[in-house]
Structure 1
């Protein structure tokens, strides 16, 4: 009597396994052979994913770069950032550098946490924290406090862009991602344009409620990120397989499209061995250098 009978377990026959594998292969092949269904799904994803991702990055870049406007806002009347905190130009440069150090150090840990958590939850958390941190800059009065808050801002913003790129792999094939990443990056240009216009308008608030215009700038530009984090928590779809706005057929199609070239929300987590193999990749370091 065979081991399978002795154990009492029922194992699928080779014919059943082959039929299942053939069915999966046929479904994946059909997904690749149906350009109309593919195009319709991608368009539907674009309407949901790309505007949200671009808007999130716009707010991130706005909060990151507004310190430059705070430096010149009210400078002619000595109501600018440097005058209000007693910083020199050299100390201002150090505050900028500290942000970049934190940004570089915390990119990888933040992306690791994204793999462990739902994207909507982690990205919303980042938005909430960097928005509150930006608003906290309005209360700084010294070089030390500005530097400390800028460091925290770098910590919380570090994971966003690589996180968004990783997030797009849950939805798009390799050949589809470059255009979507470019659309997200383009929002930084809009942030630069909006940032200057907002700073000009906020300049007229100098002295309102006893606050200098540069303090109002940090408050008013940090607040949208805080508010938007609540919407991201509820509205940012995590994975195609859990998206309520996709039909069952569309979910299967999305999974089949990404079987070879994408990431899955229910897939295995990133291991430290995989992370190590990435960190020792010489091309990565050549790119940074």
Structure 2
């Protein structure tokens, strides 16, 4: 945004290209480390309350980006953003296991990824719009972008507190027969609302499963390829001479 002007984020924060690349690294370190602990907390606080806290904190961290004045501030906010967002995707996977069988998960995840791709389109349109709004009220376009997306995220997080269903056993809009039906159709190893305890033996059993490691390998290869395009596509396009 605003490349070649004094309102470009790298120019304003006095960052080189190599220093800017660390922004991505500092986001993913807490994101990876925080996923497992976050899912343990999700079981303790219930999905709606924990996911709401995650999303609201995530939105606040987004808005804080607009207040940074140097690369150190950007590094700190990116680290906190990764930590806040770490439980979101993993938490969605866990919550789906409370409601759906493994053979039903792929379609639900497809819906989730469609929403993610649509949000990328909307984010791109917002970035284009705010790129032409730089200087409004003394803020650059990238600052307006962070403030707007952060505010929307906070509002969504508040809605999640009241609207997201937690477990089949506690859903007020289900009859007792419907609750029993949903739970009866789940596999024996599906998580249950009443299971608040943590069993280290379950982690050991999972680590012994070769399918976990094959999935991890596939996911790592997929992530390396897609993230390279996702994070640097706009830079590549700009360097090719396109606006």
TM-score (norm 2): 0.83
Q: What residue number does 2:13 align with?
A: 85
Pick closer, same or farther for the CA change 1:280–1:140 going to 2, 3 Å: farther
Q: What residue number does 2:23 align with?
A: 95
Q: What residue number does 2:139 align with?
A: 211
**Residues 1:199 and 2:135 aligned together:** no
Aligned equivalents of 1:108 and 1:276: distance in 2? 14
What is the CA RMSD across the aligned residues, in angstroms?
1.8
Whether the 8 Å contact between 1:174 and 1:261 is mirrored in structure 2 is: no
Aligned equivalents of 1:105 and 1:280: distance in 2? 20
CA displacement 1:211-256 (0-9 Å, x = unmatched): 1111111000111111111110011010111111112221111121
**Residues 1:255 and 2:183 aligned together:** yes
Q: What residue number does 1:239 align with?
A: 167
Q: 2:112 aligns with which of 175, 180, 184?
A: 184
**Residues 1:121 and 2:55 aligned together:** no
Aligned equivalents of 2:45 and 2:137: distance in 1? 41
CA displacement 1:137-177 (0-9 Å, x = unmatched): 11111111111110111111111111101100111111111
Q: What residue number does 1:170 align with?
A: 98
| Alpha-carbon shift at residue 136 of structure 1 (Å) | 0.4
Aligned equivalents of 2:180 and 2:55: distance in 1? 31
CA displacement 1:34-92 (0-9 Å, x = unmatched): xxxxxxxxxxxxxxxxxxxxxxxxxxxxxxxxxxxxxxx11132311101111111011
Structure 1: gaps spanning 5 or more residues: 1-72
TM-score (norm 1): 0.71
Structure 2: gaps spanning 5 or more residues: 221-243
